[in-house]
Structures are given as C-alpha cells and as structure tokens.
Amino acid sequence: MDIFLLILSAYLLGSIPSALWIGKVFYNTDVREHGSGNLGATNTFRVLGKTAGLIVTIIDILKGTAAVLITFIPFFTSTGIHPLFIGFFAVIGHIFPIFAKFKGGKAVATSGGVLLGYNWPIFIIVLLTFLLALKMTKMVSLSSMIVAVVGFMYCIAYYVWTGDFYLMIVVGLMGIFIFYRHRANISRIKAGTEPKVKWL
C-alpha cells in the first residue's frame, strides 16, 4: 500500500499541468490552442512570453524533484523502493496528466527535476549542456535530445565509476521518452522547418 501511495503521489505531482493552469489563470489563454499546442515550457515561452515560460519551467522541474524527495519522508522510507523509480512516475504524469485529459508535455524539465532531486551535480551538467546546445542550435527540441544522449553517456560513465545501475537505467528510459515525444520535431529538423528561439 505504501508503494502504491508513493507511485500515485509522484504521478499526481507530475500531472500538474502548470502551463495550462498558469495560462488560464493569469493570461486567460489556453496554450493548447496556440503555438504547437503542447503543454510544456517551450510552448509557454512561445505563447505567453519569458516570465510565464520561466515559471512553468521551474514548476515542471520541481515536480520531478518533489517526487524523488517524497521517498525520504519517514512514512515512506520503509518501502525500500529506489527514489529514481518514483521520480520516473512523475515523468509519466507529466506526459500523460490526469488533470489535462492525458495530453501533456515532453517531460524534459521534469526529467531534469528527477536528476536534481537525486544527484544535483548531474543536473547541473545536463543543464549546462542544454544551455550550450541551445546557444549553438537555437532549437529547444534538438537541444533536449542532445541532452538526453549526453546525460545517458555520462550516466554510463558514472555507473562504471560508482556502480549506480539504477541511475543509468532510469536516465536511459527518460531519454527514450524524450526522443519519442519529439518525433514530430525530428521530422521538422530534417525538413529544416523546426522553429528557432529568438531570445538567445
């Protein structure tokens, strides 16, 4: 029962549609009806601007972080389940949110939040990698996929160094989700029609 509560809590945290709620409450705008229609930070930046986009990014990151950290609440510590597996359910919640008809974002920020909660130095590495890739490519989608690959490669090296098998597996799974969610972006990148950010 405790494990079920952990999984449910993580999923519900991930399901919080920050882009949808902030858009509707503060901007009277449903971001699903504009831009790419995606419930993520990138579309929020595009539709609502930098302030809203930054807030949504932070909330989406913290969803993943909170899901990892709840495993350390005394009530749940006896379960023995690995924090990363619980964090992964926040990623699933972000992609398939119950509060938004199971149509969510691409889980890049929430995946990063899981890393932040579990191993913050790795989060810093992937964040800097993302910013560098974004500076060079001007494409959030391509930068996200680059981070997925680099993060997984780093976790392989980290596994060799520390034996942290679970980190390698979960980061690999999150990377697969990120690539799967960017299928349309990959087609646009190949066609040369993928939108580029103008503020960097």
What digits encode the pLDDT tens for the residues 97-138? 999 999 999 999 999 999 999 999 999 999 999 999 999 999
Does 91 score more than 80 pLDDT? yes
Within a domain: 196: no
Question: Residue 86 pLDDT more than 70?
Answer: yes
Q: Is residue 55 part of a domain?
A: yes
Q: Which pLDDT score is estimated for 70?
A: 93
Residue-wise pLDDT tens digits, 11-49: 999 999 999 999 999 999 999 999 888 898 999 999 999
Residue indicated by tokens 């690539």? 179
Q: Domain total for the chain?
A: 1
Residue 1 has pLDDT above 70, yes or no: no
Is residue 60 in some structural domain? yes
**Tokens representing residue 79 in the block:** 């379960």
In a domain, 197, yes or no: no
Let me know if residue 39 belongs to a domain: yes
Give 57-87 as a DSSP string: HHHHHHHHHHHHHGGGSTTTGGG---HHHHH
Q: Quote the pLDDT of residue 80.
A: 78
For residue 199, is it within any domain? no
Using a pLDDT cut of 90, give the percent of the chain over it: 85
Q: Is the pLDDT of residue 79 over 80?
A: no
pTM, to two decimals:
0.93
What is the distance, to the nearest Å, from the Cα of residue 54 to the centroid of all Cα atoms in its chain?
Answer: 14
Taking 70 as the threshold, does the pLDDT of residue 200 lie above it?
A: no
**In angstroms, what CA-CA distances link 133 with 5, 51, 153, 178?**
38, 22, 16, 16
Q: Please report the beta strands in the chain, taking only residues with DSSP state E, as ranges in sequence order.
A: none
Do residues 142 and 108 lie in contact, with contact meaning Cβ atoms separated by under 8 Å? no
Q: Is residue 35 in a domain?
A: yes
Quick check: is 200 in a domain? no
Print the domain residue range for 178. Answer: 2-191
